[in-house]
Each structure stands twice: as C-alpha cells, then as structure tokens.
Chain A
Amino acid sequence: GGSRRGWRRRRRRRPRRGRAGRAAAAWRGGARRGGGRPPRPAPPPPASRPPPPHAALPPQALTFTGKCRLRCLYGAVRLLGFAVASHQPGLPVFSPATHCALSLEALPAERPPRGLRAALSPLAEARVKVMARFSPECAVVLLEHLDTPVTRFLLSHPPLSRLFEPQEESSFTPEDAVLASVGIVKCSSERGLLVSESMLVALEELIQACCAEDEGVPVVLVCGPKNTGKSTFNRYLINLLLNRLPSIEYMECDIGQTEFTPPGCVSLSNVTEPILGPPFTHQQMPCKMVYYGQTSCEQDTERYLDVVKYVFSSYKKEVPLVINTMGWVKGEGLLLLIDIIRLLSPSHIVQMDVYDWKAMAPLTPEYVHLSPGLYTKGKQQAKCKQVGASEVENWRSSEGEGDASAPEYKLLYVHPEFPRAGIAGEARVHSSILRDMSILGYLGQLQSPDIGAVLPLHSLVPYQVPFSAVALRVIHSDVAPTNIMYAVNASWVGLCRIPDEIKCESEGPVLLTQTPVCDCLGFGIVRGVEMERKLYHILTPVPPENLRQVNCLLLGNISIPNCILVGQQGVEGEIPYVTSDYNYSILGSGKLKKKKHFKRREYAFECDYA
C-alpha cells in the first residue's frame, strides 16, 4: 500500500477585482505505487487482458459542481483524464448538476519543479501564504470566476437558471466559501466519474494503440445501450489521448445526443482542446456535418446509413478516430449497428454493457462476420434484406469489401459501475432537455462577447435571403407545398449547401423533391417569412463567409426550445405559437405516447397466486 495522508489544501482569497473571484489551491499528489487490488475476474467471452500496470490508489481529488477557469501554477493536476500542467493557459471548466461531476486530481510531479516563486507570480500577496504551506509534491492551481456569453445566455432561461448550482444545499465551511466565491461547490466523489476496472483496461489498450507508431491509425467505435456512459467514456478517452497527441478526430453517429453540434446531425470533428464540460459548453463547427433532421433514425435507416457513409468519406485516416454510436441496440438497431461496423471497419470496438451481455450479444468479429445486418448480409446468409438495399450494395461492392473476409478488430468490453447505469429512464436529465441545452449553447454564440448582459434573440438583427436563392425541404413529414411557410416560420433550420444550382421559374420558393445528403454549415431560426418581398429572415451564428455558401434550408423535427418562444419579453401583442389557453387535461390534447407493455389482467392474477 502507499502512504495516504489527509489532503492538504491551502487557499487564500485574493482581494476581489470586480465580481470575479479567484482561489488558489495547493494539493499533495497522491502517491502512486504499483500493486493495488487484484483485478476483478474478467468477463468470460471477450479478450481478457492482464491487469493494468497501475491500478493505483485514488489520488487526492476535489469533485465539484459549478464553473470556473482553471490554471495550474505549479505541479500538475488532472481533470477528466486531461493533465493540466503549468504551461497551459487558463482552461474553462464546466461541471453542471445535469452531468457527471468533474474531479480535480493532483498528479505526482513528473518533471523537476521549476522556480516556485516564478510560478506563483500571478498570485501577488497570496504567494507568501501559499509558499508557507508548500511541499514539493504539491500542485498549485488558480481558480477564477468564469462567465461566458454562452453560459450567460443559458442561465437567462428560467428552467436552466440553476444549472450550475448543486442540487442539495450544502453547508458552507470556510473552505467552501472560498470555492463558492469562484463559482464552484464541492460535492461527494460518487458524483464524479467512477472508472471501473474494465474501463481502465480498455483505456490502457486504446492509448497504447493510438500512440504506437507501427500499427496504422486506430479507428475506435464505441457502442452500447442508452445510459451506459458512452459519452462520458468518449470524453475521458479523448482527454487522455490529447495528453499525448495534438489532435483527435471524433465522428458523431448518435443523432440524439451529439457532442459538438446541435442534435440531429452526423458529424466529423477535429478535437484539439480537452472536453471539460457537457456538449452545450463546446459547440463548434465540425469539419463535416450532415443534418439528418431527426433525433432517432428508425423512420429512415437507409438515409441514415447514406449520411454516415458520406461523413465518414471525409475522414483522412491521419489521426486516430473515435466514433460514437446510438444507444439503439435492440432489434433493427443492432442490425443497423452491424451495418455501421461493416461500413466503417473500425480497428477497435468498445462495447459498453451493464448486464453482462444480456441487452446485447458480444460483438466479436466472428459474430459480426456471421450476422446479417439491416442492409448487409452475413457470411453464410443466402439472402439479404432487399428493402431498397441497392445504395448500400453499391458502396459495398465499390469499396471491394465483400463479406468473404472477416472484420478484424479488437473487442474491448467495458462494464460501467455507476449506480443506475443502463437503466432506461433513470438518466439524470431527460434527453430532450439535453438536446434543448445543446441548441441553447449553439444559439449562445449569437451573444456579443463585449456586453455583460443577455440580448434576447428576437431583438437581434437577422439575415435575409430571397426565396429563390435557397432551396427548401421539410425532412420529417409531408407538408402541403402551399402551406409550407406555416411549417418554416419560427422554426429551426439546417443551413446547407447542395452542389446543384438553384433553378426557379418563378419568384416563389424552391421546394426540393428529395431530402439531399449534403453539407450542413450550421443552423438558424427562421425569424420571419416575408411574403410580399419573398424573403426569409434568419437568425444564425454562422459566420458570413460560410453563410454565403448556403443555398438550402432543411427543416427537421428538431424544434426551437420552448423556453425561447415562451420567454420572449417586451414584445407587442400576443406571441405567435404561444398560448396559455391550451388545456392539456382535455382528452386527446396530448401527444401519441409510445406504447408501454400493458399487463393483461390474467397476469396480474397469476402474480397474486405465485
């Protein structure tokens, strides 16, 4: 065992400048020794691996909710896998109550300590105090109050105003008051990321593969049912990789919960900055993005595959790729996943599952080799499903990947060990709220960075574009063409670019007859439709140089968050699409609910006798 002392933290509040609080802290790095607990018995089927080189004692950690800007002044700390050393500039860090809390861990100093005095120079008079408590194994961090236009915008919507506050009222100890002045609150370590043994094994393997020079560039596909921690695993993995590599590519195939874009997109992003917060804090323009237009692909799996293929084709295979997939792994979802595996041919598959393969069969190369997909056939399958499979057949034959050769990849099994893992409906926040938060995060980019207050969306000056210059398509439902502006007005649209030239015979709008698979350059809100001058008015953060390429508007079933429409202040008259007269208690006023499996009365009686 290693020496494990109570962690020492010394902080001193700096005289405040304005509202921005600042706190500096020194940690003692947890001693890391070899050995540790023996690993759990590995699950039977997949590649079982020797225990990791260091299953170490947990180092000193501070798990917190809130947001702040973090700089490491001396030594090193680690945040969701990412090592922050003293040469790094200040990092914005977001740990809202909606997500797995972040933990700040002290790392043992790996390099000879450089001049402590110089390192602490930003601290001015607090330096003396910090130095008094200093030991060479310490890490000293500077935490500063953080307030960005995006967070300001998000917090301005009443349902989200307490986003960064802890759920339970914690009693403030003097220490906590210092943290609170910065904007963070300590919480219990169980709220943070719980790394299971199997996760450690998988991560170790992946890091080795990505950093090895000889084997070619790894493509890691992460899959598993809903709510098993795929997103958090991805963030952790990417951060760990960014410790060693300058950049990572990330491909988002989970259209319901996207990491870098608003929902409903398949995208390929180049990641150079660590991910230290949930999606709404790091919305960024991907290298390639297609707007699928729905949050699940059940209704049109064929176009989904087209879209995935289109986005994947722009991956240059120069840096490692992490692919995130949907949590739909039952029935057709599993078949679709097998198609995707065949299509993307990853070098590693991380399969996350809680119930020891009950929800999902282990996706061993042999299994995938033999199993039919939704559009592709397995090795011994005589027939393949013919539902419009021509497209898929095309790419398969053109790329010469017949089903003769078995896929070659390593299957890594991850067994998450956090409470309620994998239980549907037990997620901390409803998925639609997370989607709304992504959209709000995206729209937050419209806020001007110079102004300290939030400008309501409807007060901003929109762009305008003639009906005849941009084609229009409603993706998810059939709308009568004469009524299409009723669907478009005050809606969320993908701003896209199609290669075709927009031809129109009249001044009226140009309606596409098919949904194109095309580049999406960003999103906007149709602020209004001017019928007389035949103009769309659109609010969007897409920069003008990209906007001028946009010649197609795609409308999907992702809508503007209700809080945006309902919360419009200071407008004249009634707000369109907002009413307080709609009575949900009247029968038939609600939406179609997904049918739950009702118990039959007979079963209930049987249970009684049992």
Chain B
Amino acid sequence: MAGRAGLACRPGRPGSSPARKRLKPLRTVVAWRGRAEWDQVMVGLYCGDSRLQQEALDRVSAWKSRYGPKMPLAVDCTAELIRCKVLDSSGRLKSHELILSYGLALVRFVNLITERKQKMVSIPLRQLAKEVDIPIWVVDLRHELTHGKLPRLALCRKGCDVVLDWLRKTYWSRQLGNNLCEESEDEEQQGVEASAELDNDAWEIQTPQHEACQKHKEFHEKVRDVLISYKNEQFRVMQTVQSVSKSRELWSDSSSEVDWILAQIKDLMQENREAVAEALLSDGFLIPKMDCLKMLNIKYEANKELWQFKIPQTFYCFWQPLLTGLLSRSFTQILIEKMFVELKECSDSSELRPQFLINWISEMLTGIAKVNAGKKRQQHCNKQVSVKELFLRKVPLQWIRLTDSCLEAPCWATPHLLQLILTIMRPRLPRSSRKNLLYLASVYTEGGGPLSSPGISSDCSEQPIYTIESLQWRARQENQVKNQAQTVEKQDDVLERDDGVEEVEEEEEEEMVTETNPLEGLAHSGNLAAIAEKRAALQGSAWQITADEVQWKDFPLGKLPGQTDDPDGLMLDNYSMMSLLDQPVRDEWKPPSTNSAELNIPATGGLLWTQNDFHKIKSGLQLF
C-alpha cells in the first residue's frame, strides 16, 4: 500500500507533451448548453422584470443540479440576491422578513467571495474587500447583520443592488468574454470599470414599448460614437508621423488610448453584439467612404479583380487593432453572418460596399484558416511592414450556418468564399459534397461576372455549363477511379495555396478519420445483429431502440438530430406530479404561485432569442 503520489491522471499534471497542452485552450464542462443559454440567463437575471428574473432563477436551479457542489460561487450569490429582489417586488413579505433574506444573501456573498482570497494566516475582511473592490460599507453591513443591530430595509436593498452590480462587472461581464480576457486581465478590469459610467443604466430597461426602437437607436449611436473616436485616434496617430507606412507601424503597437476604446466597445458588446456588428458595417467604418480612402492615400479601383480578395493594406492596418480585440468566437460568427446579409442586399451594385464586404469576409476567413491550422503568426515577406493577424487563437465557428449564409448571398465571389469556408470547416463535409456545392455555386453565380480569380477559373471555366447529369457523371467518376480523386486533391491543394490559405498538414489524417473511418463499417455490421437482438428482447416494452437511421456519431451527447441551439428548447409546458405510497414524504418542490403554464410555453420556431429580442420582449411585458 506504499507508493508515491502523483500519476498521469492527476488533474493539472500534463500527460505526454506539456508544451503542446499549454497551447490548447483549456476545455471545461459547464452547466449551460452553449453561449446562448448563458447570455439568456445573464440578461434575465439583470433585466429588472421580476417575471423574467424568476425564469432565469428557474434555469439557474437546473444549473445547480448539473454542477452539484461545483457551482460557481458568483452564480450562486447572484441567484440568491436576485431571489431576494424577486421576493421583495412580489410584495408577499413584510420588511422584517425581507431584511432577513437580504441579510443572509449579503453575508454569504461577502464571506464566500472573500474566503476565496484568504491565505493561511487570516487577513482582515476589510482589507480583502478592498483588494477586490467591494465597497467598505458593504463589509460593515455584513458586520452589522451578523454581530449588531439589524439594518434598515433600505440599506439592505441598496447593499443588494451594489453587490449585484459588483457581480455583473466582476464576473458576468468578464466571463465567457473574448480574446483578450485572459491576456490582459488587469487592463480589462480597468476598462470595464472605467466604461461603467457609460452604460450605468443600460441594464435597467424601464421604457414603455414604443421606446424600444428608440433605445436601439440610442445604443447604435453610442457604438458609432465609440467607433468614431477610434477613427479619430488612428487619424491623429497618422498625422503625427505624416507618412502612411510609418503610421501602419504605430497603429500596430496598440496605445493605451486604443485599449481604452476597445474596452468601451467590449462593454457595449456585452449588451448587444448584433448591434455592434451592425454599427461596424454601417457606412464609414469597415466599409469606408471615398473621403476616408483619400485620406489614407488609397486609390480606389473600380476593377474588382485587381484587389484579389484583399483589403487594401493601409486600410487593413487601420482597423486591425480594433478587430483583433473584438473578434471572439461568437462575435466572429455574428460579424461574418452579418456581412453576408449585407452582401445579399447590395450584391448587384458595383460600389465600394460589396467590394469591401467580400474582401473583409475573405480576409477574415483566410485569417481563421491560418490560425486554425496552427501556424504561427508569420510576416508577409512581400510587404515592407509586418502585418498583424486578425486572430490570435483558434476560432471554431458554426460552419454549417456560415455555409448557409454564404449561399444565401450569391454574387460573383460566392465560389471563392464558399471554397474558403469549405476548406476551413471542421468537421469537413464529404469531398463529393464539397465539390458539388462548389460546382453548383459557380453555375448559379456565373452570370454575376467573370470569375477571374486564378483559383476558380482554372477549375470551372473550362466547363461552363453544368447539369444534374454532369454532376452525377462526376460523382460516378469519382467513385470509380480513385486515382482521379487524388489528382483532384492535388489540384485542390494548389488552389488553396494560390488563394493564400495555408493548407493544414494533418489534413490527410483528418480525412481518414472523417471520411474513410474503417471502424464505421465494422461497427455497423457488428452491431446490427446485437441491436436486432435487443429490439426483440424489448418487444412490448416502453423501452425501444430507435428505428430511424441516425448517424449518431455526428451528434454530441446532449444534442439530438434537428435540435437547435435555442436556449428555450428544453422548456416544459406541461408535466404531472406523482407522489408515492410507502415512501417517506420530505421537503419537496413547491411550484411558485406565479408559475403558470402560459408563461412557460417554449418559443416556437426554434429561433434563438438575441439580446435585442429580449429587450423588446421585456419592454413588452412591462406591467406597471
């Protein structure tokens, strides 16, 4: 029974190659299904409408079940405090009872949060609170609650609001944040605090319904203001050096001024990412006006092919610091999708707008391809100045959705963009589907303009008209002759290199796994007999084996075919309670009286509620 401690399976002890492990972001298990659910709960808790708050609390009760003893402290504390507020606004409790509930929630908050900071030798609570910016009077309030006279209700309410605000700033707004969160934590915190004044009232939406639109406009303006301040700052920098190439260098070393602007935008993003994306794509920012191009000394070429899917370098450098800061996984998804939507609306015009949209999409996808392939940041050797990348770490996107958005905005550049997406996409579509999609896209968009990019033309312009028959013929060809597939592959590689996309070295291996997994066939044939046997044994029972042909391997645990990311997708609208005979009756769940079935009908259509929608719904639900 002797032996030394420590083994490969101890947490934190790296397995085979520690160096590699450090590069990967740590993947952890959380209680929410995805970002949408997290956002929904955060907004719900802080919205100020007690019915929505109650719904958010109900969801947190499920989180608590999933987490068990591992529930994050901040979530627990927030829920306890919000519960007090909900009770308070229900008017069912007298002030003394409210003081007791507020009191316990506050005491727990101060104790639990500061205890995390305790060292072996205990540090005075006031000192710890100061370190983490909890107001001293809140600590004093705790002291009164535990050792002194019960404070007045007004003070408890104020304490609760202050602490909730602290939790929002310290935890909710920073958690699941974005790229820079881990890198510059202190900086981030400063930014959040500083910009707090900016949107102090943004969380309390007390406006009547007709003002919702107004609110949105105001927000949009707010974002625009910050973006304009960014532009002005960049121009100011340029003026100091009087040379475009010099200013590129200066732009790339981000200044404290830019960091501060970045922090402001990030804070706005916490509230409404979509609106920030919208503002970025409105005229004058990522899509420049002519005067802006002139100021940057960029000559506009009406000939779209000349730019080769690249943003003019100076303009790229102008926006790069801001974009690199903002392009988290979710925001990247939102921004690219928005770009496609915009593209759809202007694809016929031959102005700057479609041109820049296409080139931005292409630049971003190329950047993602590089970073996802695990390539280190490289300098473009053909350019005088080193150009910084837009992405610092891998951005796994919802590729299927992106493919859809891309196909919904057909234009002359669709084949190129589609090819980029299909190349980066993980897991990949089968080779034949990729090919067919590309062919179809180029057939469909052929009238849209000459396909002059070197990649597409070599492949497609030889056979200008495709029919279903030709696709079938091609499919047959590919199945029959393996060699041909390989040559196509080589061609593929050449294309991708031409487009500036670094091909992933391990691509071949991945293909093996996703497409020609030798296991699949075996598993299938071997299991079929076993499954049939089980099915027979279950005859007449409520338990069954699904008869549908489902490719289960494509769906992770917790997700079924056809299930969307709708955060309300698992809500129940009816259930029945059953009590048991011969079983001890103990504390049981009592549904709150306000909880009626109408309130809990899941959103139909499976659409994801954006925070924007939420604001609208909330203002619609206002009862007083």
A residues engaging B (CB < 8 A)? 97-98, 100-101, 158-163, 165, 167, 190-194, 229, 232, 302-303, 306, 391, 416, 418-419, 421, 426-430, 433, 437, 448, 450-451, 453, 455-466, 469-471, 474, 476-487, 489-491, 498-500, 502-517, 525, 527-531, 537, 543-545, 547-548, 550-551, 555, 557-560, 562, 564-566, 568-593, 595, 598-601, 604
Contacts and interface: CB of A to CB of B under 8 A. Distances in A.
Given A101-B3, A528-B555, A514 B67 contact: no
Contacts of A429: 7, 9-10
Given A516-B583, A566-B27, A600-B122, A528 B9 contact: no
Interface stretch (B136-144, B237-245, B288-296, B541-549): B541-549
Interface in B93-127: 112-113, 115-118, 120-122
A537 B555 CA distance: 13
A506 B555 contact: no
B2 A418 contact: yes
Given A448-B526, A544-B543, A548-B541, 20 more contacts: A98-B9, A101-B3, A159-B11, A162-B9, A192-B2, A391-B584, A426-B5, A462-B552, A463-B545, A482-B572, A506-B576, A512-B578, A514-B588, A544-B541, A550-B543, A555-B65, A580-B28, A592-B112, A598-B120, A599-B120
B44 to A, nearest CB: 12
Given A529-B570, A571-B556, A591-B67, A585 B29 contact: no
A469 B72 CA distance: 35
Most chain B CB neighbours (cut-off 10 Å) among A161, A453, A527, A582:
A582
Contacts of A506: 574-576
Interface string B2-28: 111111111100011000000011111
Q: Which of B30, B31, B556, B579 has the largest number of chain A CB atoms within 10 A?
A: B556
A464 B543 contact: yes
Given A483-B62, A599-B120, A508 B575 contact: yes
B403 to A, nearest CB: 12
A564 B27 CA distance: 12
A303 to B, nearest CB: 7
Given A544-B538, A586-B174, A459 B572 contact: no
Nearest to A545: B537
Contacts of B555: 458, 528, 571-572
B171 A453 contact: no
B69 A557 contact: yes
Given A306-B584, A448-B530, A568-B556, A547 B546 contact: no
Nearest to B175: A586
With most chain A CB atoms within 10 A of its CB, the pick from B33, B427, B555 is B555
B569 A581 contact: no
Contacts of A572: 400, 427, 554-555
Contacts of B457: none
A588 B77 contact: yes
Contacts of B117: 587
B557 A583 contact: no
B580 to A, nearest CB: 5
A512 B61 contact: no
B-side binding surface: helix, strand, loop or mixed? loop
B542 A193 contact: no
Given A482-B572, A586-B171, A464 B538 contact: no
B589 interface: yes
Interface string B173-206: 0111100011001000000000000000000000
B263 to A, nearest CB: 16
5 contacts: A448-B526, A480-B57, A481-B577, A489-B558, A516-B580
Nearest to A503: B578
B557 A564 contact: yes
Given A461-B546, A557-B68, A577 B30 contact: yes
Interface residues of B, number: 125
B514 interface: yes
Contacts of B174: 583, 586
A508 to B, nearest CB: 4
Nearest to B7: A97
Interface in B30-52: 30-35
Given A498-B580, A514-B585, A599-B122, A451 B575 contact: no
B494 interface: no
A424 B11 CA distance: 18
A430 B72 CA distance: 21
A450 B543 contact: no
Contacts of B328: 581
A580 B527 CA distance: 34
Contacts of A97: 7-8
A537 B1 contact: no
B329 interface: yes
A433 B9 contact: yes
B70 interface: yes
A455 B77 contact: no
B602 interface: yes
A589 B570 contact: no
B58 interface: yes
A484 B544 CA distance: 23
A509 B576 CA distance: 6
B74 A589 contact: yes
A457 B552 CA distance: 9
B69 A474 contact: no
Contacts of B519: 451, 453, 455
A504 B578 contact: yes
B75 to A, nearest CB: 8
A483 B58 contact: yes
Contact of B2 (A191, A525, A565): A191
B513 A570 contact: yes
B3 A100 contact: yes
B2 A419 contact: yes
B346 interface: no
A287 B10 CA distance: 33
B455 to A, nearest CB: 26
B553 interface: yes
B72 A575 contact: no
A420 B235 CA distance: 67
Nearest to B602: A531
A167 B542 CA distance: 49
B397 to A, nearest CB: 9
Contacts of A460: 552
Contact of A591 (B29, B69, B176, B560): B69
A458 B170 contact: no
A103 B441 CA distance: 68
Interface in B549-601: 550, 552-560, 563, 569-586, 588-589, 591, 595, 600
Given A481-B575, A514-B585, A550-B543, A585 B182 contact: yes
B623 interface: no
A570 B544 contact: no
